[in-house]
Homo-oligomer: A and B are copies of this chain.
Amino acid sequence: MSAVLVLLELAPDGLVRGSRRVDPAAAVLSAADLAATRGDGVFETVSIAHGHPQALEAHLARMGRSAAMLDLGAVDVDGWRAAVHEVADALADEPESWVKIVLSRGVEGSGIPSGFAWGAPSPDHRIARSDGVRAVTLDRGLRSDAAATSPWLLAGAKTLSYGVNMAAKREAARRGADDVIFVSSDGLLLEGPTANLVLRIAGELVTPALELGILPGTSQADLFRWAETAGIPTAYRRLPVSALDDADAAWLVSSVRHAAPLHTIDDRRLDVDREVTAGANAFLLGRTE
């Protein structure tokens, strides 16, 4: 196994007191860790290119926002950054790899958070990036204003409670698809279970507005940066499902897989714009920070 595991020692206030590299095959978590019994924690997955973690500061900032939404206290950004670099250095020979950082509320009753960084070489995503993937739209159950009205629903936090995200991916597979586009109960496009949605409508790259309780995408933000330098306008907007009919191209954008063009959404066929996709992925893959 070429996985890399760095275990963190955290103080009750979240300060990273230390870290140590351990055998990834070893058991490291208590059966009473709230990550395992309640999905009670937050995470980020950061892509690594030749040892360079990508969009790391954006990921760390987002982990801080997620942790705040779960009352997990302040995230020790310096400590977590160091853990990511420790994993990234160990994977520096890999052209593409990734590290998942996990912050748990810790062993129940202990008051001490637990955390680790787990890294591995990336799967080969070349076919998804060039030929594209098929997605289905699935109801996310929540209204588009849930994040504003009901913060305890944790819409927009990247938590360890991803059971529904995983079940949605299995439902997609049952329908012969590779991925999912979640739709709010009031009919607005949201995001994928592990990716952001970008549509091209009338020459503009558009992604759903962040106030809809979705995760602000780190890779999507960088994709928009690239688009602007390439002269392609970008926008954040509230998009009804019918906006899919107006799109002439679409992508699911995430760390690790980067920009995967969508050749099919439900019964709609879309063209894969190989030139734009290749340009976007070359930029995303080339980031050294």
Contact = CB atoms under 8 A, between A and B. Distances in A.
Interface of A: 3, 5, 7, 24-40, 43, 69-71, 100, 102, 104, 116, 118, 138-143, 146, 149-155, 157, 159-168, 170-171, 185
Contacts of A118: 31-32, 37
Contacts of A163: 38-40, 70, 154, 157, 159-161
A30 B35 CA distance: 12
Given A28-B27, A29-B33, A150-B139, A38 B3 contact: no
A113 B166 CA distance: 15
B36 A104 contact: yes
Given A143-B185, A153-B141, A154-B167, A102 B31 contact: yes
28 contacts: A24-B30, A25-B30, A28-B31, A31-B102, A36-B36, A36-B104, A37-B43, A37-B100, A39-B162, A40-B162, A40-B166, A70-B163, A70-B167, A139-B146, A140-B153, A141-B146, A141-B153, A141-B155, A142-B185, A143-B185, A151-B167, A152-B168, A152-B170, A153-B164, A154-B164, A154-B167, A161-B161, A161-B162
A168 to B, nearest CB: 5
A161 B39 contact: yes
Chain A interface, DSSP helix/strand/loop, else mixed: mixed
Given A28-B29, A35-B37, A141-B153, 4 more contacts: A5-B31, A27-B29, A38-B165, A153-B164
Contact of A166 (B7, B38, B149): B38
Contacts of A102: 31, 36-37
10 interchain residue pairs of minimum CB distance:
A39-B39, A161-B163, A161-B161, A29-B29, A35-B36, A152-B167, A39-B161, A152-B171, A38-B162, A36-B36
A160 B36 contact: yes
A119 to B, nearest CB: 11
Contacts of A150: 138-139, 141
A36 B153 CA distance: 20
Nearest to A169: B152
Contacts of A33: 29, 36
